[in-house]
Structure 1
């Protein structure tokens, strides 16, 4: 068996699957000539965002406070402070896409709040990756059998199998520009079309084959 002919192949699989998660960011900002007033406004606006997110808790899988920034605005010359700025961002991960558009618009209605996203993705442990890996192995075996058949031989055993590249990380695909603040009144309806996510897998395999029939 050690001297048996060997065929080396690469098996690949590519799938497009429905996203499982949607992520967006919501940022509250404030500006005032007085530092304490700027901070107070920022805290109030961040609290209003939290209230809205609390009300949408069933659709939210995860929320994380990101960067908090407070900085002075100075004149072009010198260090004289003319105003203070502040911002705080929250990243929200949603699993219920039917509630996503309404939630983003409700947040965008808030004073001095910016909403950006969504970015679609597949869970790291999604069955789609397992299915892609199985398909890549099946592709490698099919190719090996085809090469062996062309030589008048058959595949006899697997010598080695390796992961040529890890299954693609969930890709984040932005659906459009950020949603700015909206005028007062009832929020308009917004339907979002989830973007299919690519899932890939590739393997490299070596198989022994029976003695080729040449000539």
Structure 2
């Protein structure tokens, strides 16, 4: 008895959904001819930035220190090295879940003294149910394709041989914008000589989730051949 005919297909799904979180990177810098003063300024600006972020409550889900550097800037005098100044930087990685506060947060953070802000990076959570939905739709697409192929030759599906997950990816985002800070204080009083900057309007970037599966089915003997 001959083996049952096989149908091999690939199922695909593409979902466009709004992002769930947005990530920013804030770098504060301090520079001074004196090492102690440079460290003092760095600690002060880092604390001011952290207090600013804490002021947004649960809208900011996570603040993590991902980088710290303190080093001398050297210059040559004849054949000798001389310390010209000391520079320090602290990088904070910020995860925001309330998009309503994002424009105000970005404007105020980027307004800090010697502060650079990178982002935004729009993301889905790794545990997002969107990934599961994409995989399920890809599997259903594989079944539908296999049925169409079997029907085209006068047959029908009789069983599943194999169903394999061959990839699940999210679109790579374009390079983030960089907001350069003006040399002014991070915390400002409204109505004074230096009012807080207006919010920067940001539009969430649609997330495209791809899922692909490969499937193999048995089918009845074709009648159209």
Bin the TM-score by the shorter chain. over 0.9
Stretches of structure 1 that go unaligned for 5 or more consecutive residues are: none
- Report the alpha carbon displacement of residue 108 of structure 1 after superposing the two structures with TM: 1.7
Using the TM superposition, give the Cα deviation of residue 172 of structure 1 relative to its aligned residue in structure 2, in angstroms: 5.0
Counterpart residue number, 1:33 = 33
Q: What RMSD over aligned residues (CA atoms) do the two structures have, in Å?
A: 1.9
Counterpart mapping for 1:12-31 below 5 A: 12-31=12-31
Shift of 1:170: 7.3
Give the equivalent residue in structure 2 for 1:69.
Answer: 69
Give the match for residue 108 of structure 1. 110
Q: Return the alpha-carbon distance in structure 1 between the equivalents of residues 90 and 43 of structure 2.
A: 9
Alignment of 1:60-209 (within 5 A): 60-76=60-76, 78-165=80-167, 167-169=168-170, 171-172=172-173, 176-181=177-182, 184-209=194-219
Count matched residues. 214
Greater than 4 Å deviation, 4+ residue runs: 169-175
Aligned to 1:48: 48
Q: Secondary structure in 2 aligned to 1:80?
A: strand
Q: Give the TM-score of the pair, scaled to structure 1.
A: 0.93
- Name the counterpart of 1:59: 59
Call closer, same or farther: CA 1:21–1:171 in 2, change over 3 Å. farther
Q: Distance in 2 between matches of 1:72 and 1:204?
A: 57
Asked whether the 8 Å contact 1:25–1:116 carries over to 2, the reply is yes
Q: What is the alpha-carbon distance in structure 2 between the residues aligned to residue 63 and residue 170 of structure 1?
A: 25
CA contact (8 A) 2:106 2:199 kept: no
- Equivalent position of 1:10 in the other structure: 10
Q: Structure 1 residues 122, 174: closer, same or farther in 2, change over 3 A?
A: farther
- TM-score, normalised to structure 2, is 0.89
**Shift in Å, 1:71:** 0.8
1:106-164 Cα deviation digits (max 9, x unpaired): 11222111111110000111111111111101110111011101111001111110001
Question: Where does the alignment leave 5 or more consecutive residues of structure 2 unmatched?
Answer: 185-193
